[in-house]
Amino acid sequence: MYDVLIIGSGPGGYVAAIRAGQYGLKVGVVEKDALLGGVCLHVGCIPTKALLHAADVYETFLHGAEQGILADNLRFDWGRILTRKNQIVQKHAKGIEFLFKKHKVETIRGYGRLLGKGRVEVRGPEGTRELGAKNIILATGSQARMLPGLEPDPEKILTNIEILDLPQVPKSLGIIGAGAVGVEFASIYRRFGSEVTVLEMLPRVVPVEDEEISAELARQFRKQGIGIQTGATVEKVEKRAGGVDVEYQDAGGKRQKLGVEKLLVAVGRKPNTDQIGLENTAIRTDRGFLPVDPYMATTEPGVYAIGDIVAASPQLAHVASMEGLVAVGRIAGKPVRPVNYRRIPGCTYSEPPIGSVGLTEAQARAAGYPVKVGKFNFAANSKASILGSHGGFVKVVAEEKYGEILGARIIGPQATELVAEMVAAIESEATVESMMAAIHAHPTLAEAMGDAFNAVYGMAIHG
């Protein structure tokens, strides 16, 4: 009998397990895969960013002559890039194993399925057994959605899994979907030499972002030679010798055909909830997602859900982790604050990268706020000039009367790091005036944040 039994060891599950161990609870984690860490560590966040970093390094030397750095006969070793990516993943998987031992978390190998009334069936290498728990946390994650009639394969039609281990960089790559996954892989493979074309059904790339962010990313992508077709409806995908043909209708209603060596399907993710025994509980799903209360409790007593399977929760690793902390805090009877979903940072590791938090300008206006906007371009930032990265901007959305910071969007150098300041400002309920008074060191990219806050009142020094 466990105090807490967690199904899934991704960033939601393993963080919840460690915190439960810190609270002195008897905790077990059921994991079907050989290594701990889930999608994020093995075929998501971490390996993708390892490839993006390699692309950053390669591009830096590719354009090194602009800074007086000459690299003759520059080339890359794709096999070594993949090896390093795998080494990083292995290192952190072992790190989770170490933390489990440190906090007395038991790992249970196998596929977990709810039986109801605090019981879980585990089918593993040693056969099937039944476990009991006072509390159960479902952290089963998600998997890539596919277009109807398509199945992924390691040769031509890829998801986020297969594309991470291609034996060589394809000459051409088609991507269906211009969300975070699509634009990140476009940024990786274009810089390593692929001809990349992105097809997006909606009117703009990264459609969940501010419209100005979408426009800037599209502009930068086209400048890099990445083809973009928005408003594109895919009608047929057909494998052929040497590649894939994609037939689609463009924004003007004209039928088009795209021939590529490889095709990545990046049209979203679906929750892993269809085979976890929900029929044995009082839990009802919403399109496969699980409704929960503010403390992550489902409608089945003693069963909690966190991460990608939760209805109305962004499918982000750091959100899953925080939801896990909330659930375990509730179970342990500790003071705990529910997740405020309006204060969650979003990071897209494209080139240029995007960082966001809070409401977009359009969302703020739709919510009825009187809005003032401050915007500052990195072109006027000294550190951006030093880095040779002038594109993009910082945009602050504020409530007009009291200066409450409603949201912020960043596209440009180190945006995924810089957004942390905006998250801290919003979480601490800082105002534009208080952030204007915060001294930003010179020369730094963070100065662009200070100028953006000043720009809300038309007082940016460098703008």
* Separation in Å, CA 276 to CA 7, 112, 138, 246, 273: 9, 7, 9, 35, 6
In whole angstroms, give the CA distance from residue 308 to residue 298: 14
Q: Is 440 one of the catalytic residues?
A: no
Residues written for the chain: 463
| Beta partners for residue 80, in sequence order | none
Structure tokens, 18: 């460690």
Number of Cβ atoms within 10 Å of the Cβ of 326: 23
Query: Which is it for strands 27-31 and 142-144: parallel, antiparallel or unpaired?
Result: unpaired
Structure tokens, 144: 């890539």
Percent helix / strand / coil, the chain, rounded to 5: 35, 25, 40
Contact 9, 29 (CB under 8 A): yes
Give me the helices (H) in 341-414, please. 361-366, 382-387
Q: Among 42, 53, 318, 442, which one carries the catalytic annotation?
A: 442
Give the residue from 11, 35, 8 showing the smallest Cα distance to 90. Answer: 35
In whole angstroms, give the CA distance from residue 246 to residue 439: 52
Contact 205, 221 (CB under 8 A): yes
| Beta partners for residue 142, in sequence order | 271
| Beta partners for residue 373, in sequence order | 397
Work out the angle at residue 104's Cα, subtended by the Cα atoms of residues 100 and 107, and round it to the nearest 5 degrees: 55
DSSP 441: P
Give the residue from 172, 175, 149 showing the smallest Cα distance to 160. Answer: 175
Q: Which residues are catalytic?
A: 442
